[in-house]
Structure 1
Amino acid sequence: MRAIQVSRFGGPEVLARVEVPEPVPGPGDLLVEVAAAGVNYADTHRTEGSYGGPIELPFIPGAEVVGRAADGRRVLAPTLGGGGYAEFAVVAADRAVAVPEEVGDGEALALLVQGLTAWHILRSSARVAPGESVVVNAAAGGVGSLAVQLAKVFTAGRVIAAASTPEKRDLAIRLGADVAVDSAPDGYADRVRAANGGRPVDVVLDSTGGKTMLAGLEVLGGFGRLVTYGNAAREGRPMVDAGSLAESNRAVAGFWLRPAMEYPGAYHEPLAELLRLTTTGAIRPLVGGTYALAEARRAHEDLLARKTTGKLVLRP
């Protein structure tokens, strides 16, 4: 079968198209003929060898697929240790979720990693309460675009989108944000406060890291929460003074989806809610770009260059 393989760590240039044997499912597994595979920031970290946990070379990237099982069911599932950038992939049977025909392949993929992340950073980590103000950094991205919409569904108050270009800020407004601001770290705190009527905010959701994360921390009010769930800027992990947090009654929470999916009620239930919200039109997962399998390198390049919005999809 055709697949994309990484034989050495590096940038998008190490993604190579190869022919490999079709994977063989074990007990409790399903073989899925891949209709589409999702592209995530985590894939770029795995490719360069900077992802948490050991990674053995060579490997096939791709943590999520949608496609047909041998019995004809259309399913969405995370892959077992990667393998999604291929014509066939193996998934755990108990993780395979039926996808309504009304939900497109790209929309379904947007709900697995990005959708579950957006749901959990709002519900489980930030624990957003009705009426609270929420800042969403990278608001036009895969997670951010869903977080903006879900914040409204979860009855947050003022939703402030932060994005890098006027086009991305306009998109966030169309998705339901009350106001959008430039996400550049310089002047970020002043712009966010002004967008919230001169007041500090209750919640900041950040996947950029570095200076942007620290700027987000500046705008939190008492009992405010910042949730960090990525490091797209690749600036390293900023140090946070615990004493300063205590003195101002602020909190910083971290979120990583992979272990979170093992918690009771953290996978099937929120994913079912996300699929329901999509079928009813309450949320609109964005498909930002569709690439042929052989274009995996370009997909990673576009993602790293922040040229994209919404979910990126590879089609075998």
Structure 2
Amino acid sequence: MRAIQITEFGGPEVLTVSDVAEPVPGDGQALIAVDRAGINYADTHQVENSYLSKAELPLIPGGEVVGRTADGRRVVALVGAGGYAEKALIYPTRAWDVPDAVTDGQALALIVQGTTAWYMLKHSAHLQAGESVLVHAGAGGVGHLSIQLAKLWGAGRVIATASSEEKRKQTLELGADVAIDGTPEGLKDRILEANGGKPVDIVLEMVGGPTFDESFAALAPFGRLVTFGAASRQAAKPLEPARLMKGSKTVAGFWLVDCLRDPQQFGTALAELFELTASGKLRPIVGGDYALSDATTAHQDMRDRKTIGKLLLDPSR
């Protein structure tokens, strides 16, 4: 079968199409014919072997797929690795039926990015009605869904950052009250200005480095910053306990893998997102549908911040 199999770690250039043997199901596994694989920013780290969980070679990247099982069910599944291929192995406990009213692309937008936004707002940040929320990379996979969910759940003011005027306009169309340039220099001042001169209650942050530092500086007393990535590949300044104490601030880390310790709750979150999407209250955006042979381009476009919404790979092309 056709798959992206890497034999060395590196950047987008290591993603090439190979002919590999079909995977053979082990105990408790099933084989799925992949209609689309989802692309996540975490995949770029997996290919470099710079992610939280270390990878081994040879590796077929891709942690999520949507497709058909042998008995004809259309499911979206978390696979950890192996998704960039015509067929992949799934565990039934990490696969969920996709409602007819939800497209393949929407299902892939929701299973990682949607659930990430759901958990961060509900469980990590404990969003309360009327609070201000700053969403970094507001046009991205997690960002565009976080904006919509924050507004649905009663946020008082949602501020989005984005790297271009076109993306900032997109975030406003999704419901953000104001959109600002996410460049680190002077970011704190822009955040305060966007929030009427006041610090913000909640920050969803996945850039790291100076962006983390500026965002933390703009956090209100009893504010919560949730960090869930380091797209800049830069380290933030060390955070001393005294800086948390002054202002009674909270910094919470988030990794979706930890949510899978409770598959029932994860399924509940995904079902709610499916229902919101089917009813038209939530609009997951598919920003690119790439051929498998264009995986290198897809990863490079994502790293260069050229993309919006969810990116897909089509293993048939």
Report the AA paired with residue 240 of structure 1: L
Aligned-pair CA distance for 1:177 = 0.6
Q: Which residue of 2 aligns with 1:20?
A: 20
**Conserved? CA contact 1:65–1:78, under 8 Å:** yes
**Conserved? CA contact 2:5–2:61, under 8 Å:** yes
**Conserved? CA contact 1:63–1:83, under 8 Å:** yes
Q: Provide the C-alpha distance between the structure 2 equivalents of 1:12 and 1:90, rounded to a whole number of angstroms.
A: 24
Number of residue pairs matched by the alignment:
315
Q: How does 1:286-301 map to 2 (within 5 A)?
A: 286-301=285-300
Q: Which residue of 1 aligns with 2:234?
A: 235
TM-score, structure 1 as length reference: 0.98
Q: How does 1:216-235 map to 2 (within 5 A)?
A: 216-235=215-234
SS at match of 2:119: helix
Report the AA paired with residue 202 of structure 1: D
Aligned-pair CA distance for 1:209 = 0.7
Report the AA paired with residue 19 of structure 2: E
Aligned-pair CA distance for 1:312 = 0.5
Matched, 1:123 2:122: yes
Report the AA paired with residue 123 of structure 1: K
Aligned-pair CA distance for 1:179 = 0.8
SS at match of 2:24: coil
Q: Provide the C-alpha distance between the structure 2 equivalents of 1:169 and 1:242, rounded to a whole number of angstroms.
A: 34
Q: Provide the C-alpha distance between the structure 2 equivalents of 1:25 and 1:285, rounded to a whole number of angstroms.
A: 32
Aligned-pair CA distance for 1:291 = 0.4
SS at match of 2:161: strand
Unpaired segments ≥5 residues, structure 1:
none
Q: Which residue of 2 aligns with 1:279?
A: 278
Q: Which residue of 1 aligns with 2:182?
A: 183
Q: Provide the C-alpha distance between the structure 2 equivalents of 1:238 and 1:269, rounded to a whole number of angstroms.
A: 37
Q: Which residue of 1 aligns with 2:138?
A: 139
Q: Which residue of 2 aligns with 1:31?
A: 31
Q: 1:220 to 1:265 in 2, by over 3 A?
A: farther
Q: Provide the C-alpha distance between the structure 1 equivalents of 2:31 and 2:292, rounded to a whole number of angstroms.
A: 19
Q: Which residue of 1 aligns with 2:147?
A: 148
SS at match of 1:109: helix
Q: Which residue of 1 aligns with 2:77?
A: 77
Deviations 1:88-108 (A, max 9, x none): 001111221111122111111
Matched, 1:93 2:92: yes
Q: Provide the C-alpha distance between the structure 2 equivalents of 1:258 and 1:42, rounded to a whole number of angstroms.
A: 12
Report the AA paired with residue 221 of structure 2: G
Q: Which stretch shifts more, 242-251 or 134-143?
A: 242-251
Deviations 1:28-75 (A, max 9, x none): 222110000001111110111111233110010000000000000100
Report the AA paired with residue 251 of structure 2: V
Q: Provide the C-alpha distance between the structure 2 equivalents of 1:229 and 1:47, rounded to a whole number of angstroms.
A: 18
Q: Provide the C-alpha distance between the structure 2 equivalents of 1:53 and 1:59, rounded to a whole number of angstroms.
A: 13
Report the AA paired with residue 61 of structure 2: P
SS at match of 2:301: helix
Q: Provide the C-alpha distance between the structure 1 equivalents of 2:236 and 2:221, rounded to a whole number of angstroms.
A: 24
Q: Which residue of 2 aligns with 1:58?
A: 58
SS at match of 1:198: coil
TM-score, structure 2 as length reference: 0.97
Q: Provide the C-alpha distance between the structure 2 equivalents of 1:200 and 1:237, rounded to a whole number of angstroms.
A: 20
Matched, 1:162 2:164: no
Q: 1:251 to 1:115 in 2, by over 3 A?
A: same
Aligned-pair CA distance for 1:266 = 3.4
SS at match of 1:261: helix
Q: Provide the C-alpha distance between the structure 2 equivalents of 1:132 and 1:54, rounded to a whole number of angstroms.
A: 37
Report the AA paired with residue 17 of structure 1: V
**Conserved? CA contact 1:209–1:238, under 8 Å:** no
